[in-house]
Amino acid sequence: MAVLRIHAMLRKSRANGPGVRTVLWLQGCPFRCPECFNPGLRDPAGGRSITVETLLHRIKSIRGIEGISISGGEPTEQIPGLVILLERVRKETDLSILLFSGRTMKDILCLPQGERLISLIDVLVDGPYDPSCANPPGAWPSSASQTIHILSPRYALSDFSSLPALELIITEDGEVVQSGLGTVKF
């Protein structure tokens, strides 16, 4: 049974891609980007394990979302389980898929199952975050060292021009969650 290590799941967000999206932060990252947004996600043994089946069930139970955004950590560290999840999302839903990666598309394509991963997503935001060339708060991408790749006709670059820079969400449990480009701290 396929398993992913996740740090967090935000049921609904407007600041992590076009429309209302579920956001998954996958655990583990080999990079040590300066001013990392999510340093608590570096440890590949951190977070919690969840089966793809359970995660898919949770995603499918959320009403009113347009898609899912996958961030980290570094999602490509978990390509085998991620590919299985995204294949199921494609087969069983009409949700769009956005992936954030510190790796470039060229580097992802060289990874085992990298081509398959790229074929499953609608938008890739790639490249390492570099604070020395940071874009203004809320701008997509958050650093000029990153690129937005539109990989399906579902979106255009203009869909990223007016996303909120920051959102504060009060969860059903009363927890306050802050999300957005450059603002999520775990």
Contact 145, 133 (CB under 8 A): yes
With both helix axes pointing from N to C terminus, report the angle between 79-92 and 52-60 in degrees, rounded to the nearest 10. Answer: 40
Of residues 105 and 186, more confidence is placed in 105
Distance CA 6, CA 54 (A): 12
Of 56, 105, 48, nearest to 73 by C-alpha is 48
Name the class of domain 3-179: alpha beta
Of residues 29 and 179, more confidence is placed in 29
Q: Above 80 in pLDDT, residue 94? A: yes
Distance CA 156, CA 171 (A): 30
Q: pTM of the full predicted structure?
A: 0.91
Q: Above 80 in pLDDT, residue 110? A: yes
Neighbours of 99 (CB within 10 A): 27
